[in-house]
């Protein structure tokens, strides 16, 4: 257990999960928290990260920062997804080790699992068959991150834990029409289609001013240069929204609507993360005897040699293979994207048409995770999807007033 005065650095503290983890730690009396915005610290800059660790010397690190997005973003920015995430992970994890960080929590994603993994997906499904192509680069980066944690533990006896959350949603979510995940993107599209139908241009302008569209090359070909915000002409706003499948009382969503997805409220994810950070060690994940072998090494007979303080980790054949030490975090429940769209529409008060464009990719057919390991470590989710969607829409509406 980390002492209440421990200095904890939360990388990505202003994001969806990072902000929730920050608030959760505060509520538990952990007030010595450190955060930096991207403008203050570029985690892809090796030397900037090293200078930060030199100055701050945190006791624990939560690596919640990531370059993320949905199917469209993953398709458009494949190089960015692998390179940006790999740089951040390498810089933070290597500096955590070189600066003697006692505990590190790495946040990954369940997209690490193969496209056709048996459902629900257990931790040991990792690397058993090919990944889903549309998010392959992001998945590879996250697999590298969890393997870094695992490998540092096995070689150096560190205490780095990797958690793999399912699809997350909640306060401070990203509602960008191109780079957001499925639920916030869907919610904003449905909301704007309703406003167009109602002719509520005041609300549309408020929404567009809060979250303007920075057109990519393809959209610029249609509407010209410059951001689209509340001051843009109505015709330009409508043209931009139509590009994203948003028209008068109608929304077009990618795929068939048949894929099954599991969703976890971000504040539940934060609670699970903090529970693991404070209560779960590497020894709890792999077993105490194996952990002792990693920490101390073994003698010629294969017994733990506690006089040897330099653990030799995975180099000891008698230990067998130590892998898949990460922890799934989710609800163990799922629904189709079509069912989700109906739930969002009802919550938003949208009675228009939702159309699915089957010419666009669906992504992985099903992504339900097995959460037995997490439950055995003492944590279960609290917020069900119906309540969570209502909470998210209320947060979104309040964000427009800020």
Active site residues: 138
334 contacts 368 by C-beta, under 8 angstroms: yes
User: At which residue do the structure tokens 């990792």 appear?
Assistant: 126
CA torsion 184→121→72→392, rounded to 10°? 0
Residue closest to 311 by CA, chosen among 116, 153, 86:
153
Query: How far, in Å, CA of 125 to CA of 22, rounded?
Result: 31
Q: Ramachandran region of residue 68, left (φ > 0), alpha (ψ -120 to 50) or beta?
A: beta
158: left (phi over 0), alpha (psi -120 to 50) or beta: beta
CA 201 to chain centre: 34
Helices 78-98 and 136-156 sit at what angle, rounded to 10 degrees? Answer: 10
CB atoms closer than 10 angstroms to residue 25? 25
Supply 222's token pair. 């249609």
> Which residues share a beta bridge with 246?
251
A 10 A CB-CB count for 231 gives 12
Helices (H) and strands (E) counted in the chain, each on its own, are 15, 13
Return the number of other C-beta atoms located less than 10 Å from residue 380's C-beta.
12
Which residues, other chains included, contact 380 with Cβ-Cβ below 8 Å and sequence gap of 6+?
Answer: 374
| Backbone angles phi and psi of 112, in degrees to 5 | -65, -20
Contacts of 155 (CB under 8 A, 6+ apart): 311, 313, 314
46: how many CB neighbours lie within 10 A of its CB? 14
What DSSP state is assigned to residue 130?
P
The residue written with tokens 């951001």 in the block is 227
196, 245 Cβ separation under 8 angstroms:
no
How far is the C-alpha of 302 from the C-alpha of 316, rounded, in Å?
9
């Amino acid at each position: 257990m980390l002492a209440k005065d421990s200095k904890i650095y939360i990388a990505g503290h202003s994001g969806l999960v990072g902000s929730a983890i920050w608030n959760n730690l505060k509520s538990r009396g952990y007030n010595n928290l450190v955060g930096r915005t991207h403008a203050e610290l570029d985690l892809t800059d090796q030397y900037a990260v090293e200078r930060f660790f030199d100055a701050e010397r945190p006791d624990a690190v939560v690596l919640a920062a990531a370059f993320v997005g949905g199917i469209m973003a993953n398709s458009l920015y494949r190089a960015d997804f692998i390179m940006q995430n790999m740089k951040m992970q390498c810089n933070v994890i290597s500096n955590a080790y070189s600066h003697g960080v006692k505990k590190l929590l790495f946040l990954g994603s369940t997209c690490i699992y193969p496209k056709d993994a048996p459902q629900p997906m257990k931790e040991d499904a990792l690397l058993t068959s090919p990944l889903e192509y549309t998010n392959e680069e992001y998945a590879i980066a996250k697999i590298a991150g969890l393997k870094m944690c695992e490998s540092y533990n096995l070689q150096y006896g560190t205490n780095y834990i990797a958690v793999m959350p399912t699809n997350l949603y909640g306060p401070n979510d990203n509602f960008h029409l191109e780079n957001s995940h499925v639920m916030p993107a869907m919610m904003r599209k449905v909301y704007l289609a309703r406003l167009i139908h109602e002719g509520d241009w005041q609300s549309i302008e408020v929404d567009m001013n809060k979250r303007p569209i920075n057109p990519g090359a393809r959209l610029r070909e249609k509407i010209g240069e410059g951001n689209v915000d509340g001051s843009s002409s109505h015709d330009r706003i409508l043209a931009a929204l139509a590009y994203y499948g948003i028209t008068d009382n109608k929304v077009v969503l990618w795929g068939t609507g048949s894929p099954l997805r599991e969703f976890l409220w971000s504040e539940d994810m934060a609670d699970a993360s903090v529970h693991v950070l404070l209560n779960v060690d590497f020894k709890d994940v792999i077993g105490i005897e194996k952990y002792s072998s990693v920490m101390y090494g073994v003698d010629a007979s294969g017994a733990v040699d506690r006089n040897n303080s330099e653990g030799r980790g995975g180099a000891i054949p008698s230990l067998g293979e130590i892998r898949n030490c990460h922890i799934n975090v989710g609800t163990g429940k799922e629904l189709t994207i079509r069912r989700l769209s109906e739930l969002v529409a009802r919550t938003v008060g949208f009675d228009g048409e939702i159309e699915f464009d089957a010419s666009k990719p669906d992504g992985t057919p099903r992504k339900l995770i097995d959460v037995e390991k997490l439950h055995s470590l003492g944590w279960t989710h609290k917020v069900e999807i119906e309540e969570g969607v209502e909470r998210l829409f209320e947060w979104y509406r309040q964000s427009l007033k800020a």
